[in-house]
Amino acid sequence: MAESADPMENDAPGLLAKVGAVARMAKLFWKFTFDKPKDTRPQGRIPVDRMTRAELLAAPDRSLWKLGHSSVLMKLQGEFFLTDPVFAKRASPIWFAGPKRFHPAPISIKELPPIKAVVLSHDHYDHLDKRAIQKLAKKTEWFIAPTGVGGHLQRWGVDAAKIRELEWWQETSIGGVRLASTPTQHFSGRSLWNRNQTGWCSWVILDGDFRVFYGADSGYFDGFRKIGEAYGPFDVTLMENGAYNTRWAAIHMQPEETVQAHLDVRGKWMVPVHQGTFDLAMHPWTEPMERVQALAARFNIDVCTPRFGELVRMDAMQRGTCWWRSLPDGQRATAVADRVAVQER
């Protein structure tokens, strides 16, 4: 289903518009680099549960671990599936600059057991980490990606025979697990010169009648409702919650929209992702979690906020602790009340 998924493309019809866009970008870059509020990064150490291979191998099926940002490890049918693995110190093309991670990964790539499939959503640096892919190539059986992303993987040395590229609404089976590529409203590119040359998507992951939705990066759009109609209800959703800003509302969701999208796809439990690892916006680093917690309480939504590295039983979900509140700056009050416009289904 080819929906208009690129809000950025219609944005520059002529040269003047292009110049304007560059000027806006420069202003934003300046604000982002030199005028950042202090509270976009944590003070103190984020708690991380160290993981071991033995723990992973002994864990029951339908376990989940947040490794950081949108990197989530799942155990399904005795095999390991890993979304958007980022282990780099910075979500950036250069080693000495760009957003530096707040916490170490709870496990090294070396310590990870063999991975059945790495599941990629798009090629942005906070989702696609070249060195991680190169290290994972040896221990990973399959790389599942949107169309075009496989080109990056092949250039980095991944065997083409291991790569499966999918268009929106296409499905593939990996062992007994079904994966379907589903739409997002986002964009792609790893430099100023290669914008939108590769695809972007979310993923439906089906383990028999157990249904997981990984929402990846997206602005709020009608696609969530369609995904819910086609594949819902979902036992667990991994929803983007963080790196939002009204300036780029078309490509990342405000927490109210995250909650709405979870309701649209007909999710039961939500595990918010895309926060707590990288400073990619201007909001306080705890704000996405606090806003989503407040909304969850108000709309009676089950939200699970595990620590990084904490084992989560997807078939016996618990709320998890609000771990960020134990940090020195984790207690700050966050205004949420008057921004709510969630339609319950």
Q: Phi and psi for 66 in degrees, rounded to 5? A: -85, 120
* 217 lies in the binding site for Zn ion (CB under 5 A): yes
Contact 336, 290 (CB under 8 A): yes
Q: Does 124 bind Zn ion (CB under 5 A)?
A: yes
The reply to whether 84 sits near Zn ion by the rule CB under 5 A is: no
From residue 131 to residue 150, what is the string marking binding to Zn ion with x (rule CB under 5 A)? --------------------
> Would you state the structure tokens that stand for residue 171, as one six-digit string?
């499905």
Contact range with Zn ion by CB under 5 A, out of 5-13, 73-81, 191-199, 211-219: 211-219
Distance CA(329)–CA(44), nearest Å, equals 8
Token pair for 68:
């950081």
The backbone region for 268, taken as left when phi is positive above 0, alpha when psi lies in -120 to 50, beta otherwise, is alpha
Q: Per CB under 5 A, does 287 bind Zn ion?
A: no
* Listed ranges 57-65, 173-181, 210-218, 264-272: which one lies at the site for Zn ion (CB under 5 A): 210-218
Binding test (CB under 5 A) with Zn ion, winner from 84, 123, 126, 279: 126
CB of 126 or CB of 129, closer to Zn ion: 126
Considering the complex, what minimum distance in angstroms separates the CB of residue 291 from Zn ion? 18
The answer to whether 73 touches 81, Cβ cutoff 8 Å, is yes
Contact string 46-75 vs Zn ion (x = CB under 5 A): ------------------------------
Is 79 or 217 the residue whose CB approaches Zn ion more closely? 217
Q: How far apart are CA 255 and CA 269, in angstroms?
A: 15
Residue 318: both structure tokens together: 């618990």
Number of residues that bind Zn ion (CB under 5 A): 3
Contact between residue 85 and residue 66 where contact means Cβ atoms under 8 Å apart = no
Residue 42 Cβ vs Zn ion, minimum distance, rounded to whole Å: 19
What is the phi/psi pair of residue 155, to 5°?
A: -60, -30
Give the H or E element holding residue 272. strand 267-273
CB of 11 to Zn ion, least distance (A): 17
CB of 124 to Zn ion, least distance (A): 4
Binding region for Zn ion (CB under 5 A):
124, 126, 217
